Every structure is written in structure tokens, then in C-alpha cells.
Amino acid sequence: MVNFKTTERKKYTLVEFELNQLISPADLENLQPPEVKGTKGVILSGKAPIWLYGMLIHHYHPTAFIGVYEPRIGGGVVVASHNPAYKIGDVIPMEVK
Amino acid sequence: MVNFKTTERKKYTLVEFELNQLISPADLENLQPPEVKGTKGVILSGKAPIWLYGMLIHHYHPTAFIGVYEPRIGGGVVVASHNPAYKIGDVIPMEVK
């Protein structure tokens, strides 16, 4: 339903996802996002409904910071952070192939 | 930059937003989302980049639950909850005019 792929980078884990079929809200309950190291941040990347992002942002809340990859900006936009080195609104320049 | 409008409903506060100009990640830092009653849930509705949603979902994390309004479904999809009556993936039927 949702294929996840993780890539370790120095400061964060890139969590990419792909929907291989339509997803419905009821699918969220059984979704198992990949485990990550909470001491690093997480950057999310994928085409998906906002509510899937919402669930993932909530899920990864305990990590150092959470970013959302924005291709138009060419970076991950920090939306939540427990690490003073990363403020909400910071852009972490990055590429997603 | 972002106009917010809140509407109190029985179980949640509907937080609608509208961008009156382009928003950039740097604007997130000074954004002041409206205060809500944490004992109720929050449902977010608006056309905005996923990272603005991300910041709002993080911001409203302490509330009873958070939903994202999905016009195609005609309801708010629960993406986070501290209230056992609302599970992740539940759809709260609703209309946003």
C-alpha cells in the first residue's frame, strides 16, 4: 500500500514513500512507518495526501527534528524540532533522486 | 501572510487558513496560529504547502486530536489523537463552506 525506503544521511534519515495503490484513511491504522534513530532528524519525501504526511509527522514526533522535502525549494523544510540547531522554517538543502 | 479563521464545533475547533501571498519557509518562525481549547480536537482546512500543515500539526500536538479536512472524502481525517474515542485514520464527517 505504502512503500517506504530509508536512507541514512549524516544528520537525518531520509524517509521516502510511494503509494502503489490508492490509500484510504482506514489504512493509516495499520501503517508501519520504518524505524529510525531518534537522535537524528527525519526528512519525509513523497507524493501523498496531506493526512498521510500528518500521520507520519505525528509518528516521528519524538525524533530530533522533522522536515518535509519541498522539490520547488530543493530542500527539507523543518516543521518540528527538539534540537536547537534546527529551527522551524529552516531549510536543509538536499537532493532527492 | 496567512489568515486564520476558527469556528467552534462541538468536538473540535475548525481552523481554516488562507494564504494571501506566497509563503516561504522562513515565515513559519513568526507564524502565530490561533489559540484553541486543548480539551477539544482541531481540524485543519486550507490550501497550503505540506510543510505549513506540518508545522501546524506539530503546533497543535497537545490538543485532544488533530484532523486534516479532505474535501474529496468530505470529512476530517484523524492523524493524531490523545483521545481513545478518535483513532488515527477515523474520518469525522463534516462540511467546510
**pLDDT at site B95:** 86
Give the H/E segment covering residue A8.
Answer: strand A2-8
Q: Quick one: which of A84, A21, A74, A25 has its CA closest to A45?
A: A74
Q: What ipTM is given for this predicted complex?
A: 0.91
At residue A82, the pLDDT reads 94
**pLDDT per residue as tens digits for the range B25-41:** 999 999 999 999 989 99
Place of cell 495499520: A30
| Residue whose C-alpha cell is 467546510 | B96
Do the chains contact at B88 and A29, CB–CB below 8 Å?
yes
Q: Which residues pair with B80 in a beta bridge?
A: B66
pLDDT by residue, tens only, chain A of 97 residues? 899 999 999 999 999 999 988 899 999 999 999 999 989 999 999 999 999 999 999 999 999 999 999 999 999 999 999 999 999 999 999 988 7
**What local confidence, expressed as pLDDT, does residue A93 receive?**
96
What pLDDT is attached to residue A1? 84
The letter for the amino acid at B96 is V
pLDDT of residue A97: 76
Cα separation, B83 vs B86, whole angstroms: 6
A79/B55 Cβ within 8 A: yes
What local confidence, expressed as pLDDT, does residue B55 receive? 96
Q: From chain B, which residues contact A within 8 Å (Cβ)?
A: 25-29, 49-51, 53-55, 57-58, 61, 66-68, 70, 73, 77-80, 87-91
DSSP secondary structure string for all residues of A40-72: SEEEEE----HHHHHHHHHHTTTSSEEEEEETT
By CA distance, what is B43's nearest residue in A? A51
Identify whether the C-beta of residue A95 lies closer than 8 Å to the C-beta of residue A73: no
pLDDT for residue B20 = 84
Give domain limits for chain B.
1-21+35-75
Residue B23 banded pLDDT, cuts 50, 70, 90: very high
* Nearest residue in A to B81, CA atom: A58
Ordered strands of the A2-8 beta sheet: A2-8, A12-19, A41-45, A65-70, A75-81, A91-93
pTM here is 0.93
Counting Cα atoms < 13 Å in the Cβ hemisphere of B96 gives 23
B39-75 per-position pLDDT tens digit: 999 999 999 999 999 999 999 999 999 999 999 999 9
Q: Which residue has the cell 484523524?
A: B78
